[in-house]
Structure 1
Amino acid sequence: MPQIKNAHIRYRIIDRCIRNKYKPFPSKEELRAACEEALFGSEDGANICGSTIEKDLFAMREEMDAPIKYSKRHNGYYYEDESFSINDIPLSEEEIESLKFASKTLMQFKDTAMFQQFAFAINKIFDKISTSADLKDETADLVQFETGFASSGNEYLPELLEAIKGKLIVQFQYESFISGIRKLRKTVPLLLKEYRNRWYLIAFDFDKATAITYALERMDELIITDEIFTQPIDFSAAGFFKYSTGITAGNNQIEEVVFRAGTIASKYIQSQPFHSSQRVVKEDETGVVFNLEVLISEELIRDFMSYGGELRILQPESLRKEITTRFKRAVSVYGE
């Protein structure tokens, strides 16, 4: 977290401590401990020192006109004006804009199962910002967020999250889109991941003895068992998705993909790369040649095809043939 944001959070913690009528006159050490516990979950002084609190008190006096005084009698700090609070200080224009964007971002998730327990609080925040004179959003029609429709299976998010935390074994029926066959899966949940408004579970599958990706919308009859899986699982989310361009990942073969994009398409591709490994190999007046090292997946193929004739695969040959076959099939569907 940036230092300036940490400082503002500490100011509010200090303000709350000084205004606490049940424990008045907090000492510098008590203020330090309260800030460290709130920000870092500990009080051992490893992250916040006494000199930091001294600087914070000075900044509050100078920047916020906080009437902070020190009582030698009580060995602690207090407000000379008991009614003072930094909460009464008007927000800056930048802070107001940040609140507006944050509230709209929260509203995108309020109907998601994992966040429904906070829906009331999210609505209160949004309503307050929407109705406050100071926070009235005059740019509401100038900024629009992408809105996704909640898919089935999202109701499993809270249970699966708890299973991941507790390393609990779970079972569920899973239906393949390709075969349409339902099978019972016994897994250890490892990670929940959202991709293009769909939620997925990455879990260690007992039958396949490896990490597998499951779409929550195809899961049914979820059972969270009381059995704790104690054996170590060699899994890293960063490593698992290192060569992925979507949700498909794992230990499949990584290949170098080389492709050429036209002048206009290449600008879009450079501004939003397919993958972090993407590099420019050659550039001229007719376009750009790129390469990247990735797992060739359905998501990647569809992304390539979305550029139509503006993008051409150079290698590997197997990928070039696959995309050629799909375009020929599309031509046959629409007619020549």
Structure 2
Amino acid sequence: MPANKFALLRYRIIDRSIRNRGSKAYPSKEDLRYACEEALYGSDGEHISMSTIDKDIWAMRNEGELGYYAPIKFSKDHGGYFYEDPEYTIAELPLNEDDLSAIRAAAETLFQFREIPLFKQFDSAIEKILDRMKISAGDVEKKENEVIQFEKLGSYKGSEFLSNLFDACTHKKVTSITYQKFQTEEVKSYTFHPYILKEYRSRWYVIGYDINTQTHKTFALDRIKKVVVGEHKFVVDAAFDSKSFFEYALGITVTNDQPQEIVLEFQPNLAPYVQSQPIHHSQKIIEQSNSYSRVSIKVIVTVELITTILGFGDGVKVVSPSALKEQVKRTLNSCISQY
């Protein structure tokens, strides 16, 4: 049975642990379990059972679909596992042409972000992968006939803070942020617990907990003036769940308002686009005919929602709620008055 991605990661960790010839040579089953748990979940509370490690060792020894039969043996004298061939490693497995093509495509993708400070730290790792494949970075970067092309934008303002904020999020370090909103001269400092980084429409944001107001806040990196990552660690607020935080958001703005069911009516020429690329993950088609298509989404009413609706021009109409319909109408009238 094909292994899932977490199993494959555990196999790599087990392989690395067994190949260790230092003080942790001949790792016990508990050593392997702890190494996998620590590498995959850290202190987040997820646990890996001993039976899972049993199954992993069996799979590495016997599952031909993995592309190898690892010569894992158990030493009674040392109370741990070792490779019968001391030079063996699953990391040295040959790659077929499909594997090479996939890695080349991944390398091309990563190179698109090489100018962003956060990703510069991975340059050497990418170079090592390419070197193992006997491909130079120049081959990836200077292809005459590129087959994958990304939208090319200007430099990301605030991207110089990405690396420090990534470190703060990863290691849960209390951070000081100096921030200035657009259209104001006031500069404020915040003691902040950064939880996650999020990219939206080519802008980066950091979401976390503001100590002063004791609320969750979102800061746009292009408005940050200074970031100082401290040494003290924080504990993530138990009420925060990164997966559900943006559940009802269309974009980056999250408020305390309740989400509403929004019904939009699209002209026939736009309907296929909206169906093939939904506005929001909650989108449902509720009515369809030759003259229009109606969809519903459940979101918080924000500036991003109104901007998205206006972006469809005369190809969309707000059916409900009435308050949103009036808000869009006022915005359109304001636009007309400028011409």
User: TM-score if structure 2 supplies the norm length?
Assistant: 0.75
* Alpha-carbon distance change, 72 to 60 in structure 1, aligned in 2, over 3 angstroms: farther
Equivalent AA in structure 1 for residue 160 of structure 2: E
Structure number with bigger Rg: 1
Contact 2:207 2:216 (8 Å CA) reproduced: yes
* Alpha-carbon distance change, 198 to 62 in structure 1, aligned in 2, over 3 angstroms: closer
Of 145-154 and 9-18, deviating more is 9-18
The answer on 1:311 being equivalent to 2:316 is: yes
What is residue 95 of structure 2 aligned with on the other side? 91
Residue by residue, what CA displacement relative to the aligned partner does 1:55-83 show, whole Å, maximum 9, x if unpaired?
A: 42233699547778899999976556x77
Corresponding residue to 2:36 among 23, 35, 39: 39
What is residue 180 of structure 1 aligned with on the other side? 184
* Alpha-carbon distance change, 169 to 92 in structure 1, aligned in 2, over 3 angstroms: closer
How far apart, CA to CA, are the structure 1 residues paired with 2:201 and 2:21?
49
Percent of paired sites with the same residue: 29
Residue by residue, what CA displacement relative to the aligned partner does 1:23-56 show, whole Å, maximum 9, x if unpaired?
A: 9x95xxx475565445333898535343542342
What is residue 323 of structure 1 aligned with on the other side? 328
Partner of 2:209: helix, strand, or coil?
strand
Structure 1 residue 218 displacement after superposition = 0.6
The answer on 1:265 being equivalent to 2:270 is: yes
Residue by residue, what CA displacement relative to the aligned partner does 1:157-212 show, whole Å, maximum 9, x if unpaired?
A: 333344444452524132x22x3322313242343222122111224345554222
Structure 1 residue 244 displacement after superposition = 0.3
What is residue 111 of structure 1 aligned with on the other side? 115
Structure 1 residue 117 displacement after superposition = 2.4
Structure 1 residue runs without a partner (length 5+): none
How far apart, CA to CA, are the structure 2 residues paired with 1:120 and 1:302?
41
Residue by residue, what CA displacement relative to the aligned partner does 1:108-163 show, whole Å, maximum 9, x if unpaired?
A: 3333233332223234435665727xx99999622223445442222223333444
Q: How many residues align?
A: 325
The answer on 1:168 being equivalent to 2:174 is: yes
* Alpha-carbon distance change, 230 to 180 in structure 1, aligned in 2, over 3 angstroms: same
How far apart, CA to CA, are the structure 2 residues paired with 1:74 and 1:58?
24
Contact 1:7 1:56 (8 Å CA) reproduced: no
Partner of 1:264: helix, strand, or coil?
coil
Corresponding residue to 1:122 among 126, 130, 138: 126
* Alpha-carbon distance change, 49 to 193 in structure 1, aligned in 2, over 3 angstroms: closer
Structure 2 residue runs without a partner (length 5+): 40-46
Residue by residue, what CA displacement relative to the aligned partner does 1:278-330 show, whole Å, maximum 9, x if unpaired?
A: 22221111121112221112211221122111111112233223333443444
Q: How does 1:248-263 map to 2 (within 5 A)?
A: 248-263=253-268
What is residue 157 of structure 2 aligned with on the other side? 152
Q: How does 1:50-89 map to 2 (within 5 A)?
A: 50=54, 52-59=56-63, 63-64=67-68, 78-79=83-84, 86=90, 89=93
